[in-house]
Amino acid sequence: MITGATTVAGVVGSPVRHSLSPLIHNAWLAAAGVDGVYVPFSPPPHGFKDFVRGLRGGAVRGVNVTLPFKEEAMMAADEISPRADLAGASNLLIFTAEGHILADNTDGLGLLHAFQVQAPGFDPKAGPVVILGAGGAARGAAAAFVAAGAPEVRIVNRTYMRAEQIAGGLGSTVVPLPLDRMAEALGGVIAVINATSAGLSGDGDLNVPLEATPTDAVVMDMVYKPLRTPFLARAEAIGRRTVDGLEMLIGQAIPSFEAFFGRSPPAEVDVRALCLEALSQ
């Protein structure tokens, strides 16, 4: 029930119809009995700045930000958290009552949460990781692994220059490699993370020679529609442990919920099951 005291939060993207975030946050709100609501917003492609300006002042407590606005969200903010700064993008804006806009990034926390849940015992400090892709998601992942103490983060991308740009912004722990050095990049890694958009809708595979990874390496795909991407299916077929993008989405939602509603989400709700049901429709 919406009351005069309801706290409003939401997700902003274009398109936003497919977003599972309203399902996740509203299930948590209902179970916790919090007087809050989480709604989708979809401003026109060039309307993000005006949209954010309209929310300044705290009418809405905050918004998660998804494609294509994650970089623009940084520019709209008055204050940027160190982890959003490192990631070069923001998936969370908080509007204070004083009229300030704070940009944060919880995608990196979500990524590490997914490893904790689905690859128990995984230690990011234990060896090099390789990230495929050099967009915003890849940069955020690289920043998260650097912050978590990874000794080396290798970035392999189709457009090598973009991999170099990420490395340039994150220091010497991050090493860019061109696609034709993929096999070398996979040698000795503890994890391979697909942060490209290849594999979306189940089409395409990156043809990464996963056999070149150590047998105990963990393979992760940020894409969660389909949940079991061709990339993850191949990893499973050769016996590698896998981590999926849905657990990352849930993992980024936890600190977002805390920022919006001032409490942890209730543990008793199985939001993964709810999302799986929605994805199957």
Residues engaged in binding ligand NAP (CB under 6 A): 67, 107, 110, 133-138, 157-159, 162, 195-198, 200, 204, 206, 222-224, 245, 248-249, 252
Q: Which residues contact 53 (CB under 8 A, 6 or more apart)?
A: 76
- Residue 20 C-beta: closest distance to ligand NAP, Å: 9
Residue type at 271?
V
- Alpha-carbon torsion (191, 106, 246, 27), positive or negative: positive
Q: Which is nearer to ligand NAP, 90 or 213 (CB)?
A: 90
Residue 68, preceding peptide bond in cis (omega within 30° of 0): yes
Q: Which is nearer to ligand NAP, 102 or 142 (CB)?
A: 142
Q: Which is nearer to ligand NAP, 62 or 135 (CB)?
A: 135
Strand order of the β-sheet with 241-244 is: 174-178, 153-157, 129-132, 191-194, 218-221, 241-244
- Residue 183 C-beta: closest distance to ligand NAP, Å: 16
- The verdict on whether 125 is a catalytic residue reads no
For residue 93, the cross-strand partners are: 63, 103
- Residue 160 C-beta: closest distance to ligand NAP, Å: 8
Residue of 119, 163, 117 whose CA lies nearest to 141:
163
Phi and psi at residue 60, to the nearest 5° = -115, 135
Catalytic residue among 49, 70, 125, 225: 70
What distance in Å separates the CA atoms of residue 22 and residue 198, rounded to the nearest whole number? 25
Q: Which residue's CB comes closest to ligand NAP?
A: 135
Q: Which is nearer to ligand NAP, 96 or 164 (CB)?
A: 164
- Residue 132 C-beta: closest distance to ligand NAP, Å: 7
Catalytic machinery residues? 70
